[in-house]
Structure 1
């Protein structure tokens, strides 16, 4: 079963609360198990350039069922996934995309966050993911 709109909105709410707590406006994207956008929220004053990045971080995590930062580690020069970011219409291979799992550990979607440092993006995305 895929993530529902109601669940996605709850995750986004938790992610926004975390972003507010660290004082960084973020773009937050949530995709379902088919990597289709279910919910998107742009906080006031979040960077416009981060809209696309947040969506692509979520899609990247779902396409490969691993956090986008892990893809980044594997896609370094000489790595097994080198240049993968050029596939699928462009992927994002740095932290901020986190896989969403249900209570049984089944992947039901992903959340992507952009607007701060990659560490902040990952922190906010993880907070949202943990709300599931």
Structure 2
């Protein structure tokens, strides 16, 4: 199922509202199910260095259809797949990337960066269900 622009904006708006609520200036990315950029916002004062991280989190979630931190479990040295981080153009295995679902189906992927991993997770989670 393909995400509409309205759905992407709705997910992004929910995430931005959460970011404002918790005091984080975030970069928020929405990718379609094929991994292409559907929508992006950089909140005022959000770190420029977090742009690529937000995109990477969403892309990591898309490539494996799971939260980016779940992929991160495979990237740890103890998992014996540590080199996997360098595949697919680079993976970002910490909190802040996840599927966006509507009616139980994945319609997009969200990636957030700008706060701590836990804050990024809260922000992404706010935009992950439509």
Match for residue 34 of structure 1? 34
Question: What stretches of structure 1 move > 6 A for 4+ residues in a row?
Answer: none
- Computed over aligned residues only, the root mean square deviation of the Cα atoms, in angstroms, reads 1.1
- Which residue number corresponds to residue 78 of structure 2? 78
Summarize deviations over 1:11-62 as a string: whole Å, max 9, x none.
1111110000001100000001101110000000000000000011001001
Match for residue 109 of structure 2? 110
CA distance in 2, matches of 1:47, 1:10: 23
Aligned counterpart, 2:125: 126
Contact 2:100 2:127 in 1 (8 A): no
Normalising by structure 2, report the TM-score. Answer: 0.95
Tell me, yes or no, if the aligned pair for 2:29 and 2:37 is still in contact at 8 Å.
Answer: yes
1:21-100 to 2 correspondences below 5 Å: 21-79=21-79, 81-100=81-100
Q: TM-score, normalised by structure 1?
A: 0.94
How many residues get paired?
130
Distance 1:123 1:24 in 2: 11
- Structure 2: where are the runs of 5+ without partners? none
Q: Summarize the Cα distance change of 1:79–1:27 in structure 2 as closer, same or farther, 3 Å threshold.
A: same
Q: How big is the shift at 1:81?
A: 3.6
For residues 49 and 29 of structure 1, the distance between their equivalents in structure 2, rounded to whole angstroms, comes to 14
SS of corresponding position for 2:127: helix
Give the deviation of 1:82 after TM superposition: 2.1
Write the distance in 1 (CA, Å) between the matches of 2:82 and 2:3.
Answer: 30
2:26 is aligned with 1:6 = no
Q: How many angstroms does 1:80 deviate by?
A: 5.2
Structure 1 30/80 Cα, relative in aligned 2: closer, same or farther at 3 Å? Answer: farther
